[in-house]
Structure 1
Amino acid sequence: MKRVSPTIGVAIRYDLQAAPHARTFFRTLALARNEYPRIAALRFVFADDLGTREGALRAAEQFERAGARIVIGHMSSDAAQAVVSRYAQSGTLLLLPTATASSLTANGSPVLRLCAPDCVLASRLVAHLASNGWRRLRVACEPTRHGQQLAADIADAASLHGIAVLNDDDASPGTCSVFVGSAQASADYVLKRRDAGCTEPIFLTDDAASASLAERIGDAAHVRIVGFAPAYALARGEAFARSYVRWYAENPGVNALETFAALHIAAQLAAGPGVDPQRIGDVSFDTPVARVRFSARQNRDTAHAIWSLKSGRLMLEQVIEAGASNESI
């Protein structure tokens, strides 16, 4: 088996308006390269995949020319799906630290996914709704691979809890809404509902937990977001969060812990004898923040958070860690 190259590909959108979590990614990378010698020893090759199929294929070609056999990024599930088969053929491992479709980890996939499985987020979200007495749920999504898959998982979980799932245009009273999509699409959805005079509770997911969404929407007492738990709210993330605050004078973004872990996983693999991406489904890695354990290529021990919006800021309300230990993320 060939030795893994110390060159790591980074596929990410450079447009921070379209991909606000990219800012957290780059800040976490800068911190890790300056504070951890084994990260600093790596050579990074960067490509803007534009969040599209075409951009992802161009990025993959660039990484192949550079000799990268580990790639971090492809934050869009549609972009990631476009290159999965190519990475499988070239023996390239793809680490996904942000919210992406669980289907990317299908059998034979060269993917390790650090965010929680979609079915876990769906189950926790619906359990929260059920515990608060909601019996009717409207589900809508952005027309992307991840949006459609997570929306379907939420609808399935709702049915298991006896919650009726309505069409997006159903105006039945006593209903709450869930929208699955990017920060920009989620903000559009909330503002559209606001303009229509809608005051029913709206729950957003994953990527919506960003400062850009909070600034755009402002106060919204009827809106909650269920997504990544932030590093500073987890015992295992406290030291990393303190370092981040020293560097940037603000708390890390919601996908910083997963990004940090992905960088250390990449460093471990690059220093080892080699890796066969298609044989790495059940594996664990020790990182400075936690032991990361994968089952069927998915990180099974993850935490979620519930956020509210106030005065243009995200406000942490609750952390959900059911079934997770404090030694894993």
Structure 2
Amino acid sequence: MVFLAAAALAACNGGTPVRIGFLGGAATQGFSVSEDGRNGAMLAVEELNRAGGVHGRPLELVVRDIALDKDHAQAMAAALLSARVRAVVGPFTSTQALAVLPQADAAGTLLVSPTANAPELGGRDDHFIRLNGALADSARAYAELLVGRGQRRVAVAFDQANAAYSGPWLSAFRISLAALGGQVAAEVAYVSGPALSSSAVARALLRHPSDALLFIGRGADAALLAQQVRKQGSAVPLAAAEWAAADALLELGGRAVEGLLTALPYDPSDRTARYQAFQRSYRARYEREPGFGALGSYDAVMVLAQAMERAERGESLKEAVLRHGPYQGLQRAIAIDRFGDSRPPLHFVVVEGGAFVSLR
């Protein structure tokens, strides 16, 4: 953590640092999206500091890793708040965000999440800024695409460890699918973690005739489930909710996830100079491709920095973020409504050759 702060400050030495917190899951616990997010946030901080920081003051990133359990998330959030950060990038799951939002509200400190999007996190006057799209919109788009591909009967496996996300996502998908003449053929719940029996979940899914299988959970879990489905001899088409569209899906899934349909809140085929420069920097530093966690966190830091620059005398950071948009992100102008919600476009992709390729 000290190294991260030192790296962020290396190129900008003027004034007292502006501290931004980062609240993400530990990579050792399988939270590849938030590890990716930390990397993207670091690149944004370093870029801003090379350009002079915010009002001549350097930015400093203060990182805390959290587990899925509520108590640990709240303890790490308290540690960041006691460090007097101006705002926090994260958390990355809806369950974590709902656990720590009351603390942020009480302290008057903004949480800017690149990914969390449970219904309870939108449409409210609080200290939560949502850069991801509405969960119901995403589930509806999946239902429309699957039905358009002739996949009307869909068996679903969903992770109860992040029930604030997976439960509402499944409910919205079920309603949308039914409205289009389809049906959820089976619903199999599981809890992500060392005790997960992916073979048992796969067997439960395959007991029910279906046109496609849909996984609502982490990329690592989707990869393991896909492998078990293929090992059990099924060639049924696979799909995964956008939460799964991370490096872990590709790295762990191998050939089993080839052809799998998922979605990203950014365009992986973007050829603009801004995105290409970010992609090159990320590859050079981390020796892998940036995922949606990295892009979302980069954008979160940029939103905060631009709002601080534009803030008028006497405005809180929350007021500044809500009033002074849109903000320039990597791929889009980020508009934030009066409730702190943003609506990025959703880009459907398939896994081809071990990479996410835009759906043709």
TM class by smaller structure: 0.7 to 0.9
Deviation at 1:232, TM superposition (A): 4.7
Question: Which is strand-richer, 1 or 2?
Answer: 1
Partner residue in 2 for 1:224: 261
2:328 maps to a residue whose letter is: T
Q: Which amino acid aligns with 1:205?
A: A
Partner residue of 2:327? 286
2:126 aligned counterpart, secondary structure: coil
Q: How does 1:1-329 map to 2 (within 5 A)?
A: 6-16=18-28, 18-37=30-49, 38=53, 41-143=58-160, 144=162, 145-168=164-187, 169=204, 171-220=207-256, 221=258, 223-233=260-270, 235=272, 237-248=275-286, 250-271=288-309, 272=311, 273=313, 274-275=315-316, 277=318, 284-289=325-330, 290-295=332-337, 296-310=339-353, 313-318=354-359
Is contact 2:70–2:99 with CA below 8 Å preserved after alignment?
A: yes
Q: Cα offset for 1:207?
A: 2.7
Task: Indicate conservation of the 8 Å contact 1:230/1:257, yes or no.
Answer: no
Deviations 1:212-245 (A, max 9, x none): 2222221134532223334553647344334434
Give the conservation status (yes or no) of the 8 Å contact 2:283–2:289: yes
C-alpha change, 1:32 and 1:196, in structure 2 (3 Å) is same
**Residue type of the alignment partner of 1:261:** D
Task: Name the CA distance, whole Å, in 2 between partners of 1:7 and 1:90.
Answer: 15
Per the alignment, in what secondary structure is the counterpart of residue 275 of structure 2? Answer: helix
TM-score, normalised via structure 1 length: 0.84
Deviations 1:290-310 (A, max 9, x none): 320123432113232312154
Which is worse superposed, 110-119 or 162-171? 162-171
- Which residue type is aligned with residue 247 of structure 2? A
Work out whether residues 230 and 253 of structure 1, in 8 Å CA contact, stay in contact via their aligned partners in 2.
no
SS in 2 for 1:225: strand
Distance of aligned partners of 1:250 and 1:276 in 2 relative to their CA distance in 1, 3 Å threshold: closer
Which residues of structure 1 form unaligned runs of 5+?
Answer: 320-329
Aligned partner of 2:226: which letter? Answer: V
Q: Is the 8 A contact 1:285 1:293 kept in 2?
A: yes
**Equivalent residues of 1:118, 1:150 under 8 A apart:** yes
Shift of residue 265, structure 1, vs aligned partner: 1.3
Q: Tell me the amino acid that sits aligned with residue 9 of structure 1.
A: G
Which shifted more, 103-112 or 254-263? 103-112
Relative to the length of structure 2, the TM-score reads 0.77
Aligned residue pairs total 313
Partners of 2:271 and 2:130 lie apart in 1 by: 20
Q: How big is the shift at 1:278?
A: 8.3
Q: Could you tell me whether the CA contact under 8 Å between 2:242 and 2:263 is conserved in 1?
A: yes
Q: Secondary structure at the match of 1:165?
A: strand
